[in-house]
Structure 1
Amino acid sequence: MKKTWIGWSVLFLLVGLNVCLLVKKDSPITSYSFISEWDEVKIRDLEQIVSTKGKVTPADEYHIYFDERKGSFEQFLVDEEEFVQSGDPLFQYRTDDTDDITLQLQERMDQLEKEADSLEEFIEELEDILDEQEANEETNTGTKVALQTEIFQKQHELNVIEAEIDSLENQLLSLNGNETIITEQSPVDGIIRSINYSLTNPIMTIIVDEPVVKGNVQEADLDQLEKGMTVRVKLDNETTAEGTVTAVSPFPEEKEEKLMYPVTVQLNDVDDMELPFGKKVNMEIITATAPSVMSVHLSSVKNGKNQAFVWTMNGKGQAVKQPVTLGLETETYVAVADGLSENQLVVANPEKVQENKSPVLFPHTKIDPIFKKSTYKKKHWKYLVYGFLGTNRMP
Structure 2
Amino acid sequence: MKGKWKVTAVSVASVVLIAVNLYLIEKKESKVERTVFVENWTKVKKDTITATIQTKAVVKPAEVHDIYFDAKNNDFRKFLVKEGDEVAAGSSLFEYTTTELDALKANLTAEKTAVEGEVSGIDQYVAKLRAYQGNLERDPSKAVIDDSIEQKLNIDITTSSSDLIKSNIEQEMYKQELEKNRLNEKVKMLSAQLSSIETQANSIETTTEAGGIVKNINKNLNNPIISIASANMGIEGDFSESEMKKAEVGMTIKATAPDLKQELKGKISRIHSYPAEEPTLKNDNRFPFQAMIESEGGEAEPLMVGSKVDLSVITNQKAGVPSIPVGAVHQTKKPHVYKLTKKGYVDKHYATLGLKAEGKQELIKGPAVGDFIVMEPKMVSKNHSHFITPVHFEKVKTDTLKKFTTREKVRYLLLGILEK
**Pair 1:173–1:21, CA change in 2 (3 A):** farther
Q: Does 1:263 align with 2:289?
A: yes
State the AA in 1 paired with 2:290.
T
2-structure distance, mates of 1:220, 1:22: 55
Q: Does 1:298 align with 2:326?
A: yes
2-structure distance, mates of 1:53, 1:169: 55
2-structure distance, mates of 1:368, 1:21: 30
2-structure distance, mates of 1:227, 1:169: 47
8 Å contact 1:41–1:294 — kept in the other structure? yes
State the AA in 1 paired with 2:46.
I
**Pair 1:230–1:170, CA change in 2 (3 A):** farther
1-structure distance, mates of 2:82, 2:70: 20
**Pair 1:172–1:214, CA change in 2 (3 A):** farther
Q: After TM superposition, give the deviation of residue 367 of structure 1 in Å.
A: 8.9
State the AA in 1 paired with 2:319.
P
2-structure distance, mates of 1:169, 1:263: 47
8 Å contact 1:54–1:213 — kept in the other structure? yes
2-structure distance, mates of 1:30, 1:99: 106
Find 2:368's aligned residue among 341, 349, 368: 341
Q: Does 1:369 align with 2:403?
A: no
8 Å contact 1:55–1:280 — kept in the other structure? yes
Matches for 1:151-162 after TM superposition, within 5 Å: none
Q: After TM superposition, give the deviation of residue 70 of structure 1 in Å.
A: 3.8
1-structure distance, mates of 2:312, 2:228: 30
8 Å contact 1:21–1:27 — kept in the other structure? no
8 Å contact 2:49–2:358 — kept in the other structure? no
Deviation per CA, 1:215-240: give whole Å up to 9, x if none.
11221121222221111111337521
In structure 2, the residue matched to 1:220 is: 242
Q: After TM superposition, give the deviation of residue 102 of structure 1 in Å.
A: 7.3
Find 1:39's aligned residue among 36, 39, 42: 42
Find 1:65's aligned residue among 44, 68, 72: 68
Deviation per CA, 1:308-332: give whole Å up to 9, x if none.
3210123442221112222222131
Q: After TM superposition, give the deviation of residue 201 of structure 1 in Å.
A: 2.8
Q: After TM superposition, give the deviation of residue 22 of structure 1 in Å.
A: 11
8 Å contact 2:340–2:371 — kept in the other structure? no
Find 1:277's aligned residue among 295, 305, 316: 305
8 Å contact 1:235–1:282 — kept in the other structure? yes
Tell me the secondary structure at the aligned position of residue 72 of structure 2. helix
If the length of structure 2 is used for normalisation, what is the TM-score? Answer: 0.63
**Pair 1:24–1:328, CA change in 2 (3 A):** same
Which protein shows a greater Rg? 2
Tell me the secondary structure at the aligned position of residue 378 of structure 2. helix
Q: Does 1:186 align with 2:214?
A: no
CA RMSD of aligned residues (A): 3.6
Q: After TM superposition, give the deviation of residue 287 of structure 1 in Å.
A: 1.3
In structure 1, the residue matched to 2:399 is: none
**Pair 1:67–1:36, CA change in 2 (3 A):** same
**Pair 1:249–1:370, CA change in 2 (3 A):** closer
Count of residues in Structure 1 that have an aligned counterpart in Structure 2: 301
In structure 1, the residue matched to 2:262 is: 239
Q: Does 1:351 align with 2:378?
A: yes
Q: After TM superposition, give the deviation of residue 74 of structure 1 in Å.
A: 1.0
In structure 1, the residue matched to 2:52 is: 49
Tell me the secondary structure at the aligned position of residue 286 of structure 2. strand
Q: After TM superposition, give the deviation of residue 171 of structure 1 in Å.
A: 7.2
Tell me the secondary structure at the aligned position of residue 26 of structure 1. helix
8 Å contact 2:36–2:388 — kept in the other structure? yes
2-structure distance, mates of 1:46, 1:92: 58
Q: Percent identity?
A: 25
Instruction: Mark the runs of 5 or more structure 1 residues left unpaired by the alignment.
Output: 1-8, 106-167, 373-382
In structure 1, the residue matched to 2:275 is: 252
State the AA in 1 paired with 2:266.
G
**Pair 1:70–1:371, CA change in 2 (3 A):** closer
8 Å contact 1:171–1:183 — kept in the other structure? no
Q: After TM superposition, give the deviation of residue 181 of structure 1 in Å.
A: 0.8
2-structure distance, mates of 1:217, 1:301: 31
